[in-house]
């Protein structure tokens, strides 16, 4: 989905037809071979309409799973279907995750934070809360990137400005942009050799080079040629709830809303959030376990849910303590032990930018 309010066109090369896949018919509860995950299918009447709900979760008392972000690993991307993501990562369960933009066919960019193996693959977005694995536990928060960048002067002192853009030009005189996939002949920029994929948190120094794969870009008035400059990056994630604990995050994705028994962040006001739609959510339960859920919609025997009704179902039926709403609509897909368990509302499995899933230890 290009954002919460609209869909986007997917190239035919990324489409896998549902007709070519076996849709699983399951009992109410299914345990996998290793007992690390439980799968539950519900057929319920919610606010007077039928809804099929699919939930996979681990055991909070003795978790034997690693929850990870899934996807291509760098952006922009043509995207992958959720089955492709699960197969590549050997994930026992997988769902779609972040909303995304697709400004041109095959050029998907996640909206909000994506972290994989400790590397920041996409930076936080304003008003999009995140969920991340911190010291083995899934936590939610409103996360921001606190970063500075610049170069050392002749005396060795670091002259740092706010890092306010990643992979787009600086919008004002008092900030600098970082390009992790710099264009050729990028104006007012100094190139250097960066990591192949993703940003690491911390403070780093780099030597400028003629043809590096990363670049720092200034506005014209701030840029000065620095042939042998030492470049400095200081990158940290910080959460409104958990603060500097986000510097220990290993995996993370983002969504549109966090729902808890106390409130919803941000407030639910848009029609797409109030109406019945297919939904994908993730969160934690009262035992400390992690779960993912898909609500089917746009079909006769499953009409979908509003955000509020989806949250209330999960809170009541699986003791969810919080939920993060992920991309929904035709993107909503769940794979469990290599099988498609829900019925996506499109006639094909969408290629999406990011997924989230569990690998059995």
Closest C-alpha among 326, 311, 318 to residue 356: 326
The per-residue pLDDT for 77 is 93
Mean pLDDT of 98-120: 95
Percent pLDDT > 70 in the chain is 88
Mean pLDDT of 209-219: 85
d(CA 33, CA 39): 12
Q: CA distances (Å), 198 to each of 119, 135, 172, 246, in order?
A: 5, 20, 25, 16
pTM for the full model? 0.87
Residues 6+ apart with CB under 8 A from 161: 148, 149, 150, 174, 175, 176, 218, 222
Long-range contacts of 314-318 (CB under 8 A, 24+ apart): 314/55, 314/281, 314/283, 315/261, 317/42, 318/40, 318/55, 318/57, 318/285, 318/291, 318/293
DSSP structural state of residue 24: P
Residues 6+ apart with CB under 8 A from 50: 43, 44, 300, 301, 302, 303
Q: Which helix (H) or strand (E) element contains residue 132?
A: strand 130-134
Per residue in 259-303, pLDDT (tens digit) is 999 988 888 888 888 899 999 999 999 999 999 999 999 999 999
- Report domain extents, the chain: 12-142+241-360, 145-239
d(CA 302, CA 44): 9
The per-residue pLDDT for 30 is 53
Give yes or no for residue 225 having a pLDDT over 80: no
d(CA 360, CA 300): 35
In the numeric block, the tokens 């026992």 are attached to 92
Per residue in 31-75, pLDDT (tens digit) is 544 458 999 999 999 999 999 999 999 987 777 899 999 998 888
Residues 257, 266 contacting (CB under 8 angstroms): yes
Residues 254, 110 contacting (CB under 8 angstroms): yes
Per residue in 165-213, pLDDT (tens digit) is 888 888 887 889 999 887 778 888 888 888 777 899 999 999 888 788 8
Question: Where is pLDDT greater, at 24 or 321?
Answer: 321
Residues 231, 206 contacting (CB under 8 angstroms): yes
In the chain the first and final C-alpha atoms are separated, in Å, by 32
């Amino acid at each position: 989905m290009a954002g919460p309010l609209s869909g986007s066109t997917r190239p035919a090369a990324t489409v896998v037809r549902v007709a070519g896949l076996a849709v699983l018919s399951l009992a109410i509860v299914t345990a996998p071979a290793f007992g690390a995950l439980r799968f539950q299918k519900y057929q319920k009447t919610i606010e007077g309409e039928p809804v099929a709900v699919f939930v996979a979760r681990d055991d909070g008392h003795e978790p034997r799973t690693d929850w990870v972000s899934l996807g291509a690993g760098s952006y922009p991307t043509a995207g992958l279907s959720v089955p492709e993501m699960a197969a590549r990562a050997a994930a026992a369960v997988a769902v779609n995750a972040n909303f995304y933009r697709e400004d041109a066919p095959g050029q998907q960019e996640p909206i909000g934070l994506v972290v994989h193996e400790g590397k920041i693959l996409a930076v936080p977005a304003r008003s999009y809360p995140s969920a991340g694995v911190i010291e083995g536990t899934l936590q939610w928060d409103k996360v921001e990137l606190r970063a500075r960048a610049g170069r050392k002067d002749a005396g060795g002192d670091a002259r740092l400005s706010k890092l306010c853009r990643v992979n787009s030009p600086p919008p004002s005189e008092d900030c600098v942009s970082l390009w992790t996939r710099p264009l050729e002949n990028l104006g007012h920029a100094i190139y250097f050799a960066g990591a192949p994929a993703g940003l690491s948190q911390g403070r780093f120094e780099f030597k400028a080079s003629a043809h590096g794969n990363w670049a720092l870009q200034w506005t014209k008035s701030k840029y000065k040629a620095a042939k042998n400059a030492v470049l400095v990056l200081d990158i940290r994630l910080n959460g409104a709830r958990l603060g500097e604990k986000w510097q220990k995050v290993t995996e993370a994705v983002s969504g549109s809303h966090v729902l808890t028994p106390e409130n919803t962040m941000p407030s639910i006001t848009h029609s797409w959030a109030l109406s019945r739609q297919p939904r994908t959510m993730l969160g934690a339960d009262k035992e400390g376990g992690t779960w993912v859920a898909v609500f089917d919609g746009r079909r006769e025997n499953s009409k979908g849910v509003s955000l509020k009704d989806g949250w209330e179902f999960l809170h009541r039926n699986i003791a969810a303590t919080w939920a993060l709403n992920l991309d929904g609509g035709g993107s909503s897909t769940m794979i469990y032990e290599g099988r498609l368990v829900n019925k996506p509302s499109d006639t094909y499995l969408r290629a999406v930018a990011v997924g989230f899933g569990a690998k059995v230890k």
